[in-house]
Structure 1
């Protein structure tokens, strides 16, 4: 059974039909990547899964349970976290305060916090600094750490490498590999090299529909398909 199943999802935003018929399966474990051009519907797909926008018709199933009609908070309690493209951190709060705010009871689990500090040492170094003072890469690390501070089975991450320096992107890839050993990641990403290095399975969304789905290895080997769907030469 797939960890997450998206079936025939159609999402309208106001008068605009953004997703027309999106279906894909996310297996448990590793990194599943959603690719696509700007404006193809990738972010809308993530926001529809987490319940910020409601698909109609269509369904989202998590571990065999239909979660389509649930509120976002209830979906999160099922073990799903969302890291938005804008990071969703609080600039005037410290690193530790941002993490505490993401816990259920206002207290750190020492083991989970230690793991986060192992993955992102800068967050340990700057625990008492306000989040606005962090670099772009450190802010992205904090946003991912907020999603990990409680046990999660699935993390939805939207464009984590956007605007980051190559050295930070490499460090982020190492962290994602470590995270994916215990938590499934559904990743939206424009950086194909980053996506290719991490992804096991993938789907391409084009004009609000899934234009291709399969293994990342097969897609990476087919340059003609890449050019057709992503306008890339890899």
Structure 2
């Protein structure tokens, strides 16, 4: 089943066209990875899905419903969460306050909080600490935790491993595998070794266009294709 479908999506920022006829389908369940070089249009794609920028022309459908012109808040209420590259946390609020703020009614379900603490034990240890005092890896954990503090069907995650230590990256991969058991993840990532361990399906975007779609297993097995599309020497 297709959960998210992008069709001929074009997005302009000011007078500049960033996306050109971007289209791909994200099946429900598991991790779909969007790869590409710096400046290829990956973040713009996520922001366009969330309604932060409006594609015109083109369309975005979620679970069969056209959400192209919907407001960001309404898109979020449909069960879509967004973890931006800058993490989007509130530094002067505590860990718990950040989580409460991400809920619809200002109350945390104890069962979901228990699950989050199991995924990210540091957030339980530092729940009364202001977010600015956390390490980079802990801030990223908090950002992801905010996205899953309530049930979501689709989670958009932008560059979660950027600047993180290898041990934290490994812990993040384990958490994503667990999260993907009951939600779909659309992951933008430049760390190919991280992405290949998680992704089932994938697409490559370059210069605002989708230049490849397929299974991650097939792409990971083709070093020449990786080098041509991503500039990697695997």
Equivalent residue, structure 2, for 1:43: 43
Report the 3-state secondary structure (helix = DSSP H, G, I; strand = E; otherwise coil) of the residue aligned with 2:127: coil
* Rounded Cα–Cα distance in structure 2 between residues aligned with 1:108 and 1:77: 16
CA deviation string 1:170-209 (max 9, x = no partner): 0000000000011100000000000000000000000000
Report the 3-state secondary structure (helix = DSSP H, G, I; strand = E; otherwise coil) of the residue aligned with 2:103: coil
Unaligned residue ranges in structure 2 (runs of 5+): none
Offset of 1:233 from its aligned partner? 1.1
* Rounded Cα–Cα distance in structure 1 between residues aligned with 2:181 and 2:108: 22
Equivalent residue, structure 2, for 1:111: 111
Unaligned residue ranges in structure 1 (runs of 5+): none
Normalising by the residue count of structure 1, what TM-score does the alignment of the two structures yield? 0.99
Q: How does 1:88-99 map onto structure 2 within 5 Å? A: 88-99=88-99
| Number of equivalences | 234
* Rounded Cα–Cα distance in structure 2 between residues aligned with 1:211 and 1:8: 13
Offset of 1:84 from its aligned partner? 0.1
Report the 3-state secondary structure (helix = DSSP H, G, I; strand = E; otherwise coil) of the residue aligned with 1:86: coil
Offset of 1:150 from its aligned partner? 1.1
Q: Verify: 1:82 aligned to 2:85, yes or no.
A: no
RMSD: 0.4
Normalising by the residue count of structure 2, what TM-score does the alignment of the two structures yield? 0.99
Point out 4+ residue stretches in structure 1 off by more than 2 angstroms.
none
Q: Verify: 1:211 aligned to 2:215, yes or no.
A: no
Q: Verify: 1:32 aligned to 2:32, yes or no.
A: yes
